[in-house]
Structure 1
């Protein structure tokens, strides 16, 4: 009889490195489980597009402008920041700048996802439009490149379709809701973003940075034009780095220790 070997766990070590944040061995994830998780995120977040449609219409944007923002911009935080600043009477250029800088983070997501997904060059420009917080979170949590591609595609497609459909529904139904400010719908997208972000804040430095960013934004909100406090909250990262200091490097061994080790 030949000896049978036990199946080994997959470490996700594909060509170009493991797709997920990998330090430990992880079992291969079934495609059905990846699709289920991706659909859960896509549907939950996609439905909040209704809140954006209502908020945008309440801020004075037309139906065409509201739908164009979801179709072409497709990043909830930037969209809410733009219409929120306009609704507060902010300068359109300041509002657009705040929305732009919030969207810049997606470019950094893309640098990481391009290595993990390794998509053909012909479809990278289309895939780049789906590089947002939710697709990044789902993709990075997968153990293999195949699972990462499935998670990215299903999340992106589900979220894009639902977000735009619910944006349209929200903009059309804004008149029936009356005073949109009374519903507090502009808080829907930030709440979803915080819910996705909070499990990723593991180290003390990350939690301090997030807390300080919130304090900066809230403290500057009454004294600065709309949109500016969000931009200045990014200063939390360098401030925390300065307060915590750089990690100490290990002390190199002395010459005596090296020579002694050589004799042994």
Structure 2
């Protein structure tokens, strides 16, 4: 038999353009999320290292802080838990962490329309809602990139747990967070997310400015946590504007 191709077999045209990957394909968006999440993951690793060190200074042992990072996966709630346990009982510590994590309720409601499946599947997919991923996956207009959200979160969870493990094993000085300036990572992270959000949606600019001014005023009279909660009232301006009222 001859090895030459049959005449009736269509041959590829070398001059034909090579098909490009669809930038909106779920796999492409997932990979884009992983790339963005990797940067957040690096910051998360350093913060988790500090968290592990602080827990050792307070005698948490080895297993508890690692399980806490794997399950809770929230730096703000975990540091609040550590700080409250140092000065109060377990009840007040859990209440403080729960109050901080209550922000995920409106965040979850916002992204719910872009999740898929029944209640159980949507609840499982909702576990990918973390601060950086949620903000980075926002497309504007209240819509979210589901695949991007998953990729960004997946890239952050392993560094967070690994950083905690390293902090527990090495048990560096608990002041590492201040010595290396790690305490500015979280504010810097949220500032970067805010700037990106303002770039994508102009309607958010006025509420963001009002929230910043309100926080600056309240922090002169109230504790930091209450000032931040109070500044969230500026978000009502965004809701008012979307309903068609002038702002």
**How does the TM-score come out when normalised to structure 2?**
0.68
In 1, the alpha carbon distance for the partners of 2:72 and 2:37 equals 17
Contact between 1:34 and 1:151, CA under 8 Å: does it hold in 2?
A: yes
Indicate whether 1:129 and 2:127 are aligned.
yes
Distance 1:65 1:198, change over 3 A: farther
Match of 2:157 among 147, 160, 184: 160
Distance 1:240 1:39, change over 3 A: closer
Q: CA deviation at 1:217?
A: 4.2
Match of 2:97 among 68, 90, 99: 99
Of 130-139 and 28-37, more deviation after overlay is shown by: 28-37
Q: CA deviation at 1:161?
A: 2.2
Indicate whether 1:199 and 2:196 are aligned.
yes
Indicate whether 1:39 and 2:38 are aligned.
no
Q: Equivalent residues in 2 for 1:213-228 (5 A)?
A: 213-217=215-219, 219-221=221-223
Q: Which residue of 2 aligns with 1:210?
A: 212
Q: Which residue of 1 aligns with 2:139?
A: 141
RMSD over aligned CA atoms reads 3.6
Distance 1:237 1:121, change over 3 A: closer
Of 126-135 and 89-98, more deviation after overlay is shown by: 89-98
Q: Equivalent residues in 2 for 1:3-22 (5 A)?
A: none
Contact between 2:52 and 2:165, CA under 8 Å: does it hold in 1?
A: no
Contact between 2:211 and 2:232, CA under 8 Å: does it hold in 1?
A: yes
Q: Secondary structure at the match of 1:220?
A: coil
Q: Secondary structure at the match of 2:78?
A: helix
Distance 1:237 1:136, change over 3 A: closer
Q: Which residue of 1 aligns with 2:79?
A: 80
Contact between 1:57 and 1:66, CA under 8 Å: does it hold in 2?
A: no
Stretches of structure 1 that go unaligned for 5 or more consecutive residues are 1-26, 222-228, 251-264
**How does the TM-score come out when normalised to structure 1?**
0.64
Q: Deviations over 1:179-227 (max 9, x none)?
A: 4243343443343233223332442232221342255346534xxxxxx
Indicate whether 1:233 and 2:228 are aligned.
yes
Q: CA deviation at 1:28?
A: 5.7
In 1, the alpha carbon distance for the partners of 2:122 and 2:27 equals 25
In 2, the alpha carbon distance for the partners of 1:51 and 1:218 equals 27
Q: Which residue of 2 aligns with 1:5?
A: none
Q: CA deviation at 1:158?
A: 1.9
Stretches of structure 2 that go unaligned for 5 or more consecutive residues are 1-21, 199-203
Q: CA deviation at 1:142?
A: 8.3
Q: CA deviation at 1:104?
A: 1.1
Aligned pairs, how many?
A: 211
Q: CA deviation at 1:230?
A: 0.8
Q: CA deviation at 1:36?
A: 4.2
